[in-house]
Amino acid sequence: MSEAESVLSVSGLTLDLVGGHAPQPRLVHDVTFDVPSGGAVALIGESGCGKTMTAMAVLGLLPKGVRAVAGGVLLDGRDLLRCKERELAAVRGRTIGTIFQEPMSSLDPTMTVGDQIAESRRLHLGERRGAARARARELLDRVGIPDAARRLRAYPHELSGGMQQRVMIAAAIACDPRLVIADEPTTALDVTIQAEILGLLRDLQRESGMAVLLVTHDLGVVAEFCEDVVVMYAGHVVERAAVTEVFGTARHPYTRALLRSVPTGRAPRTRLDVIPGRVPPAGAFPSGCRFRPRCEYAADACATTEPAESQEAGHATRCLRVAAGEIELQEAR
């Protein structure tokens, strides 16, 4: 992982489901990673692995019934898990910007896009309406929306999907945040628009030095945009390393299986690799290694011992057989 100064440092984050009568499952357990200043880190894994829940914990937006019971979430050294809601509200939008997955679900249909972008500056920076709208126009220009003065008065439904996503980015960076959390920012966009959005985020990183935490299923986006990767499975981080290492010589069996399942470069009518089974729901995790029922390398010990994280030259893996040197390193694809 990158050794640059960390903007965000998540350490041992553990989230439990509280309330009710059944035994309470541990939704996310012992999640640790850093996001360096000016860097981009990806959280990857199948649906249900805990990626979005981890991001929501950083934002202090955990759903009702979910509580952080251990660990820390340090933003420039300040533990967000110890902050009151009023303090978190001051951080969201000011120090942390967020790009959500579906702009039409996140943008207010009753407000113009200009007012929605300006609102953050008025709330966090105390700007007057005129100054905030002028800055909103500059931001629309900055994210590549043509005729920004006219689009400022548009409502979300009057814009294309690509433009809506650009408005979301403009709103996320309105107060020059230190960190942007992007949850599937290119979902449902065609390849051309996706490339433009990624290029825009990269340009903004270079200009402002902001850090990006990218939550995604798209391994192509990860390879193109990020420097470091955090692979999650069933609430655990199973592998953490630089992008070049993960895509070159992935160590954990789950990461290898994910990479093999990408159809890129396959010949027509070639059978795709799939990972058998599915991610177990919280409360139904298997004993020992959580990936064991789906793992081609599983041994008897994997059923009785929960693997601890091991590290070698900054490459972290949670696998008994990798730690014992019993799985030969090889190219991931």
227, β-bridge pairs? none
What does the CA dihedral 7, 12, 18, 24 come to, rounded to 10 degrees? 150
| CB burial string 261-273: b at 16+ within 10 A, e below | eeeeeeeeeeeee
Q: In the block, which residue shows the tokens 């009151």? A: 84
Percentage of the chain beyond pLDDT 70 is: 95
Average pLDDT over the chain, rounded to an integer: 89
* Residue 2 pLDDT level (bands cut at 50, 70, 90): very low
Q: In the block, which residue shows the tokens 């039409």? A: 104
Backbone angles phi, psi at 169, to 5 degrees: -65, -45
Q: What is the pTM of this model?
A: 0.90
Above 70 in pLDDT, residue 330? no
Question: What confidence tens digit (pLDDT) does each residue in 204-222 have?
Answer: 888 888 999 999 988 888 9
14, β-bridge pairs? 70
Above 90 in pLDDT, residue 201? no
Mean pLDDT throughout 92-113? Answer: 89
d(CA 232, CA 44): 6
Question: What confidence tens digit (pLDDT) does each residue in 33-60 have?
Answer: 999 999 999 999 999 899 999 999 999 9
Backbone angles phi, psi at 212, to 5 degrees: -130, 130
Burial class (CB in 10 A: 0-12, 13-18, 19+), 105: exposed
Q: In the block, which residue shows the tokens 């949850």? A: 183
Mean pLDDT throughout 299-320? Answer: 92
Helix (H, G, I), strand (E, B) or coil at 252: coil
Question: Would you state the pLDDT for residue 92?
Answer: 93
Question: Would you state the pLDDT for residue 262?
Answer: 82
* Residue 333 pLDDT level (bands cut at 50, 70, 90): very low
d(CA 37, CA 89): 22
Q: For 40-54, 117-131, 270-284, which range has the lowest pLDDT when averaged over its residues? A: 270-284
